[in-house]
Chains A and B, each alone.
Chain A
């Protein structure tokens, strides 16, 4: 049974149909990357998956349980789904350590000592054991995003949702975040990732999903979608962001000439 089953999910904002009957399964250990034009509903799909946004129609099943019915304790559900945001959303008044600790103490009810040990371990895993006492305002974007990943992982999630985790980063900081995600994927974490980092997608993703206007246009193994798309729009879009990606990663070499 898939870890996540999304069936005929719909979401509207007023007249604007943002998700138009999305159906999708994500297996345990699978890494699914979502791409598509801006405003297509990728963020909304992730936010609906942990029900931070309530869909109008359809069902979501998580770990064998339907979470879109009444009476489900959503706080319990969200504890088992880690989320990482484009804008990091670290708690600004807390140090890196406290950012990772707060979920453990206030949500999971761990003792301060147990939470501290766990938080230190998670920060070490993302290469930030020397930044535990720093506030978000004292960290670079890449460091902030790694703290955010550590914060989510500390809760022992069954799945991680990433919403454009590197889009707000300076190009030279993208790698350090992708490295952490790569390691996570290798360790077998189930991941739903919205990103336009095609290098990451083709290397790490088990499946690439191309979305447009609230629908899934096409999905499949990344190499197949990139080199042999069945739908013309898929090829056009992937070709465009592929070129953009190449020119971006080529830029540093050019400028150093």
Chain B
């Protein structure tokens, strides 16, 4: 058993960089898209607001796996997307919907007077959003956002269906080769647990670092 673990863990760890890459791409594109959608939903003109809300509604109603499959079999047939990108972009599209909800809530929670004071100083709306609203929204959003980060980290395993050699895919190889599914998948669970744990710890530390004193 111990020998097995010594064998399987390094094999799975080679997939860690792929898992982390998928997660990072999905989270960072999802952050950009989510923040953009959230700002549009709060400050955009009525049509844009509805479009952004509709996007979020649809994306959150559809299983992520389905998005991945559509992306890889339908979209990839038109524009040639390598599996890594098909998978990461699908996760990013889905995550942008979830993140837009997180950021929208965080923006709405900011007292109205913050925007009013910024405008009274002569700041245009975009500048006010950038300098006054977003820095506070991001602080408000960190706790739910770390939750989303953990979900994306785990959901990155879904790209295994496209053959992307991330942790789960490698666990599956290992299981098929060694006939030791318990060892293979158990070790994969351990690796995911460790990554998620470290991610949450890191984000907790970040939250404490950028917390506004006495508020």
Contacts and interface: CB of A to CB of B under 8 A. Distances in A.
Interface of A: 50, 52, 75-79, 81-83, 85, 87-93, 102-103, 106-107, 135-138, 148, 151-152, 155
B7 to A, nearest CB: 50
Contact of A137 (B120, B121, B215): B215
Given A89-B117, A152-B121, 10 more contacts: A52-B120, A78-B122, A83-B117, A92-B114, A106-B131, A107-B122, A135-B213, A137-B212, A137-B213, A137-B214
B113 A87 contact: yes
A75 B116 contact: no
Contacts of A88: 113
Contact of B127 (A83, A106, A152): A106
B113 A155 contact: no
Given A93-B139, A106-B131, A135 B212 contact: yes
Interface of B: 111, 113-114, 116-124, 127, 131-132, 135-136, 139, 212-215
A90 B122 contact: no
Given A85-B113, A89-B113, A138 B214 contact: yes
A107 B123 contact: yes
A92 to B, nearest CB: 6
Describe B's contact surface by its main secondary structure: helix
Given A103-B121, A107-B122, A89 B114 contact: yes
B116 A89 contact: yes
Given A78-B121, A78-B122, A102-B131, A91 B114 contact: yes
A152 B124 CA distance: 16
Contacts of A135: 212-215
Leading 5 A-B pairs by shortest Cβ distance? A79-B122, A137-B214, A89-B113, A89-B117, A137-B215
Nearest to B210: A93
Contacts of B136: 92-93
Contacts of A52: 116, 119-120
B120 A78 contact: yes
A93 B214 CA distance: 11
Nearest to A53: B116
Contacts, number: 73
Contacts of A148: 117
Contacts of B118: 91
Nearest to B123: A107
Contact of B117 (A75, A91, A137, A155): A91
A50 B123 CA distance: 13
Nearest to A154: B121
Q: Which among B120, B121, B131 has the highest number of chain A CB atoms within 10 Å?
A: B121
Given A92-B215, A137-B212, A138-B214, A103 B122 contact: yes
A75 B113 contact: no
Contacts of A152: 120-121
Contacts of B120: 50, 52, 78, 81-83, 152
Q: Which among B111, B114, B120, B123 has the highest number of chain A CB atoms within 10 Å?
A: B120
Contact of B213 (A78, A79, A82, A138): A138
Contacts of A82: 120
Nearest to B131: A106
Contacts of B114: 89, 91-92
A159 to B, nearest CB: 12
29 contacts: A50-B120, A52-B116, A52-B119, A75-B122, A75-B123, A78-B121, A78-B122, A79-B121, A83-B117, A83-B120, A85-B113, A89-B113, A89-B117, A91-B114, A91-B132, A92-B114, A92-B136, A93-B135, A93-B136, A93-B139, A93-B212, A102-B131, A107-B121, A135-B215, A137-B214, A138-B213, A148-B117, A152-B121, A155-B121
Nearest to A136: B215
Contacts of B131: 102, 106
B212 A92 contact: yes
A115 to B, nearest CB: 13
Contacts of A83: 117, 120
B209 to A, nearest CB: 13
A123 to B, nearest CB: 16
Q: Which among B127, B139, B212 has the highest number of chain A CB atoms within 10 Å?
A: B212
